[in-house]
């Protein structure tokens, strides 16, 4: 038995002096040196008593050591569970407990706050900082290199990624070795990645985009990564001349376009720009082409499925569309209730099937049954149409979801929080267009009685309990929520009402 993901992504680079990570401080880590660190980290995991199938929850900054921890989990057969660095203690408690993590790795600065969370879940606690320091690193440093990959089946879990849901309760998407490997193979092929590529990587590594799409693709192709801690405009502008490709959420591209230094001369040498995780406005696509001569390649994916569709490398990259199904992946547009396929050209719910589709939600068999049909089709909840040429367009969402700067926010979760605040009778949360984040959160509150709501107190509570990207950027108090005759809150009316809330004022 082998370990298919390790064997394909990592093993071919063992002992090689080729560059893997170009770091922000100007230094470079070779493939071989990275893999030695992976071996030491895998030994550290085993020394802590972890065995194949155990979960390692991580709430740490992006660093080469954090990436090595991901690789070490693959090599040791342990399930990697990355968590958004913006999550608060209150949010983390659920993930560590629900996953029954055996080990929780957090930032050294939050060790005190995380102690009770780890203890309540019966998980061991270790620390790893953005600078590579921490108790886990101390343990890693004392370990030998040379670690035999723990055998795994293609169907064994490689990662557990939590994704929030319409009910407000997050679900752990179980991704297998085969899910991740099949997707990396399809993307390397479609996007023509090779060992000559240098990818500018400014995405976080706790989501599918930065971790699997960007990292796995580069590992499989054998190229190098300019591995930046986050998207910082100055650093990205400075490092683009050394890159051949870049992946980003639409906010990356609008921020670049807002800077006059971002021009044809700066990126004329680049091979490819890829966008995803949120809709790229057709207008951004066109402005980007006008400024740089590059047509951004837009693709579409989800945590549960990794990537599903992509515009073509050769051929027309059509603005406003997400292209065609990837090789091995099938898509269809279906009726929301009957799940029957609709005639070509009609709008319906997009279903996806293929080796990329996850195994189900962690310990939620009913949720899994609701979204994953017995014949393997996954109901994405996105509304789409497929045109006569086969291009898929995501026209909206059947699910009540806001995507802000590439992060998903389910209104229900924020409404549950707001409804629990003193003086609030009820609340509604909707998305409003935002020039930087694409969309952002607007909350509408109804007071229990006139003057009962203390907005400062609610904002302070939101800061303490909700990740920053989920906090409402605007809170409005209304006497009542608009409702239809059935008593259902009319969110469309609220969306229309706040549609221009963040648009620049016409002068």
**By the criterion CB under 6 A, which residues form the site for ligand MLC?**
203-204, 207-210, 230-231, 249, 251, 276-277, 301-303, 404-407, 437, 468-469
SS3 track for 325-372: ECCCCEEEEECCCCCCECCCCCCEEEEEECCCCCCEECCCHHHHHHHE
Annotate each residue in 318-347 with x if it binds ligand AMP (CB under 6 A) or - if it does not, as one string.
----x-------------------------
Query: In the range 349-408, which residues lie near ligand AMP by CB under 6 A?
Result: 380, 382, 394, 397, 403, 408
- The closest alpha carbon to 189, from 300, 298, 301, 313, belongs to 313
Q: Choose from ligand MLC, ligand AMP, none: what does 437 bind? Cβ within 5-8 Å by kind.
A: ligand MLC
Cα gap 435→428, rounded to integer Å: 22
Tokens of 33: 């040196």
Residue 171: CB minimum distance to ligand AMP, A: 10
CB of 98 to ligand AMP, least distance (A): 17
Tokens of 263: 């021009």
Binding segment toward ligand AMP, per CB under 6 A, in 13-21, 110-118, 283-291, 300-308: 300-308
Q: How far is the CB of 409 from ligand AMP (least distance, A)?
A: 10
> 198-201 and 224-227: which strand pairing?
parallel
CB of 424 to ligand AMP, least distance (A): 28
Residue 228, CA atoms < 13 Å, CB-side half-sphere = 23
278 touching ligand AMP, by CB under 6 A: yes
User: Which CB sits closer to ligand MLC, 360 or 405?
Assistant: 405
* Burial tier of 75 (Cβ tally within 10 Å: 0-12, 13-18, 19+): buried
163 binds, among ligand AMP, ligand MLC, none (CB under 5 to 8 A by kind): ligand AMP
| Nearest distance in Å: CB 180, ligand MLC | 13
Residue 404 binding: pick among ligand MLC, ligand AMP, none (C-beta 5-8 Å cut-off by kind): ligand MLC
Residue 22 interacting entry, from ligand AMP, ligand MLC, none, C-beta within 5 to 8 Å by type = none
Q: At closest approach, how far in Å is the CB of 115 from ligand AMP?
A: 29
Stretch that binds ligand AMP, among 215-223, 258-266, 298-306, 356-364 (CB under 6 A): 298-306
**Cβ proximity to ligand MLC, 40 vs 85, nearer residue:** 85
How many residues touch ligand AMP (CB under 6 A)? 18
Q: Which is nearer to ligand MLC, 311 or 404 (CB)?
A: 404
Q: Tokens 């090789």 appear where?
A: 327
Instruction: Output the 3-class SS for 51-95.
Output: CCCCEEEEECCCCHHHHHHHHHHHHHCCEEEECCCCCCHHHHHHH
Q: Is 413 a binder of ligand AMP (CB under 6 A)? A: no
Residue 129 binding partner per list ligand AMP, ligand MLC, none, with a CB distance cut-off of 5 to 8 Å that depends on partner kind: none
Contact 397, 383 (CB under 8 A): yes
Cβ neighbours for 279, distance < 8 A, ≥ 6 positions apart: 250, 394, 403, 438
- CA separation for the pair 501, 507 (Å, rounded): 16
Contact 345, 388 (CB under 8 A): yes
Cβ neighbours around 380 below 10 Å, total: 23
Closest distance to ligand AMP from the beta carbon of 167 (Å): 15
301 forms part of the interface with ligand AMP (CB under 6 A): yes
3-state secondary structure of 292: helix
If the CB atoms of residues 206 and 362 are measured against ligand MLC, the closer one turns out to be: 206
CA distance 123 to 101: 6
Closest CA to 14 of 41, 46, 37, 47: 37
Binding site for ligand AMP (CB under 6 A): 163, 208, 276-279, 298, 300-303, 322, 380, 382, 394, 397, 403, 408
């Amino acid at each position: 038995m082998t370990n298919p993901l390790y064997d394909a992504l990592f093993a071919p680079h063992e002992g090689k002096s080729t560059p893997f990570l170009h770091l922000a401080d100007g230094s470079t880590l070779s493939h071989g040196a990275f893999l030695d660190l992976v071996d030491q980290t895998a030994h550290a995991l085993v020394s802590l008593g972890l065995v194949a199938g155990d979960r390692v929850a991580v709430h740490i900054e992006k660093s080469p050591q954090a990436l090595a921890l991901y690789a070490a989990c693959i090599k040791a057969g342990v399930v990697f569970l990355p968590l958004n660095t913006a999550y608060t203690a209150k949010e983390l408690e659920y993930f560590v407990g629900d996953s029954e993590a055996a080990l929780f790795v957090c930032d050294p600065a939050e060790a005190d706050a995380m102690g009770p969370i780890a203890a309540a879940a019966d998980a061991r606690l270790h620390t790893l900082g953005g600078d590579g320091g921490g108790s886990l690193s101390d343990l890693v440093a004392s370990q030998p290199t040379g670690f035999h990959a723990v055998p795994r089946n293609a169907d064994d879990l490689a990662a557990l990624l939590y994704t929030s849901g319409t009910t407000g309760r997050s679900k752990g998407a179980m991704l297998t070795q085969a899910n991740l490997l099949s997707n990396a193979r399809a993307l390397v092929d479609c996007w023509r990645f090779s060992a000559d590529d240098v990818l500018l990587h400014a995405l976080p590594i706790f989501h599918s985009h930065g971790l699997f799409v960007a990292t796995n693709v580069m590992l499989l192709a054998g190229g190098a990564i300019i591995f930046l801690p986050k998207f910082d405009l100055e650093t990205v502008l400075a490092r683009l001349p050394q890159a051949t490709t870049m992946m980003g959420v639409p906010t990356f591209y609008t921020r670049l376009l807002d800077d006059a230094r971002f021009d044809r001369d700066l990126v004329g040498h680049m091979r490819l720009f890829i966008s995803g995780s949120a809709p790229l406005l057709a207008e951004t696509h066109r402005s980007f082409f006008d400024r740089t001569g590059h047509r951004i390649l837009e693709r579409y994916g989800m945590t549960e499925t990794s990537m599903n569709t992509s515009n073509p490398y050769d051929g027309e990259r059509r603005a406003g569309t997400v292209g065609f199904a990837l090789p091995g992946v099938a898509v269809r547009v279906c009726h929301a209730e009957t799940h029957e396929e609709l005639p070509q050209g009609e709008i319906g719910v997009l279903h996806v099937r293929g080796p990329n589709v996850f195994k189900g939600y962690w310990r939620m068999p009913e949720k899994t049954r609701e979204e994953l049909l017995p014949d393997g089709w996954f109901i994405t909840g996105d509304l789409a149409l497929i045109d006569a040429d086969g291009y898929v367009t995501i026209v909206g969402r059947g699910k009540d979801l806001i995507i802000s700067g590439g992060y998903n926010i389910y209104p229900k979760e924020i409404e549950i929080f707001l409804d629990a605040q003193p003086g609030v009778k009820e609340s509604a949360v909707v998305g409003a267009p935002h020039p930087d984040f694409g969309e952002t959160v607007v909350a509408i509150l109804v007071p229990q009685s006139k003057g009962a709501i203390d907005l400062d107190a609610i904002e302070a509570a939101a800061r303490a309990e909700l990740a920053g990207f989920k906090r409402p950027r605007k809170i409005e108090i209304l006497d009542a929520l608009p409702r239809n005759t059935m008593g259902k809150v009319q969110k469309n009316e609220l969306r229309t009402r706040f549609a221009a809330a963040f648009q620049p004022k016409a002068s």
